Amino acid sequence: MECMCEWGVDEGSVESKRYYLCRMTTLEMLRDRGYDVPDSDLSLTLQHFRESFGPKPDLERLRISLPLLADPSKSILVVFCGADTLKLSVVRNVIAQINDNHSLHRVILVRQGTITSQARQALTTLPRVKVDLFQITDLLVNVTKHVLMPKHEVLSFAEKEKLLKKYSLEDKQIPRMLETDAVARYYGLEKGQVLKITSVGDVVSPHVTYRCVM
């Protein structure tokens, strides 16, 4: 951690730090989701970030587009939006870009202000692409790195079937996790996916449990 006196030299530095943290968390999130994130991006320091993006980073330049490790023909796009209310016109712009790029299967939209209901509606009704909407405050801290957080792993379909068979369970009998849960959003999970949760506690650990996204 850099010294406190460095802070608040100007407003821009606080803002650039916000963008830096948000970008880092997003990259970590993409890595955990299985995208091909270059190591150079993950190890970028705040200083380097400021050097390359300036005190008031350009939102267009912050955009991230990365392919999936398992299937490079599929890729993801991260779009950062400004502090104003996210209106339908802006969203239409983004949607047009999405439609141009056929390799996209997922888009993450990071907003700072509020979003109008029409804009939200427009995002949810896209045919091919799933859009995850994040508030910038969600991404300042990587929730999976929080001390209260146990380790989460996403199970593959085969692993899930094996688990269900082992305990002779149905989907709805496994402990649940909501789709809106912070962790489910982080991994971009859909209904029916199962998470393996390994917690490292004090008296009786480590301990494995599972949750099914509902």
Partner 1 sequence: MTFEQKARVMPWRTLRFNESVCNPYNADFDGDEMNLHVPQTEEARTEALMLMGVQNNLCTPKNGEILVASTQDFLTSSFLITRKDTFYDRAAFSLMCSYMGDGMDHIDLPTPALIKPIELWTGKQLFSVLVRPNAQIRVFLNLTVLEKNYTKDYSMCRNDGFVYFRNSELLSGQLGKATLGNGNKDGVFSVLLRDYNTHAAATCMNRLAKLSARWIGNHGFSIGIDDVQPGYLLNKEKKARIEEGYDDCDELIQSYNKGNLKLLPGYDAAQTLEAEISGVLNKIREKTATVCMEQLHWRNSPLIMSQCGSKGSPINISQMIACVGQQSVGGRRAPNGFIDRSLPHFPRKSKMPTAKGFVANSFYTGLTATEFFFHTMGGREGLVDTAVKTADTGYMARRLMKALEDLSIHYDDTVRSASGGVVQFLYGDDGMDPAKMEGKSGVPLNLERLYLKVKATCPARAQASLSPLEVSKIVNDKLAIHDAAPAGGCSVVFKKSLSDFMDKKMDTKRELQLDEGYTGNANPNIPVKVAANISGITSQQLQVFLDICTSRYDSKRIEAGTAIGAIGAQSIGEPGTQMTLKTFHFAGVASMNVTLGVPRILEIINGAKKISTPIITAPLECENDVKSARIVKGRVEKTTLGDVAKCIKIVMTSRQASIVVTLDMEGIHALHLKISANSVKQSILQHSKIKSMMKHHSIEVLDDRKLRILPSDGDKRKLQFELHSLRATLPNVIVKGIPTVERAVINKEKDGKCNLFVEGTNLQAVMGIPGVDGCKTKSNNIIEVKETLGIEAARKCIISEIQNTMASHGMSIDLRHMMLLADLMTYKGEVLGITRFGIQKMKESVLMLASFEKTAEHLFNASFNGRVDKIEGVSECIIMGIPVQIGTGILKVRQSVKQEVKLNYGLDPIIS
Residues making contact with partner 1 (CB under 8 A): 1, 3-4, 7-8, 14, 17-18, 137-138, 140-143, 145-150, 152, 167, 169, 172-178, 181-184, 197, 199, 201, 203-211, 214
Q: Which is nearer to partner 1, 148 or 158 (CB)?
A: 148
- Tokens for 14, please give them: 């606080």
Sign of the four-CA dihedral 154, 212, 23, 4? negative
CB of 181 to partner 1, least distance (A): 4
* Three-state secondary-structure class, residue 110: strand
Distance CA 5, CA 2 (A): 9
Dig out the tokens for 1 from the structure: 């951690």
Q: How far is the CB of 97 from partner 1 (least distance, A)?
A: 29
- Tokens 């190890």 locate to 43
When the beta carbons of 129 and 214 are compared against partner 1, the nearer one is 214
Q: Nearer Cβ to partner 1, position 50 or 105?
A: 50
Beta carbons within 10 angstroms of residue 111's beta carbon? 22
Q: How far is the CB of 12 from partner 1 (least distance, A)?
A: 13
Shortest CB 103 distance to partner 1, Å? 31
Query: Burial, 26: exposed, middle or buried (Cβ in 10 Å; 0-12, 13-18, 19+)?
Result: buried
Q: Of the two residues 116 and 199, which places its CB atom closer to partner 1 in the complex?
A: 199
* Listed residue (101, 111, 210, 204) closest to 155, CA to CA: 210
* Residue nearer to partner 1 on the CB measure, 94 or 211: 211
Tokens of 38: 């270059």
Least CB distance from residue 69 to partner 1, whole Å?
25
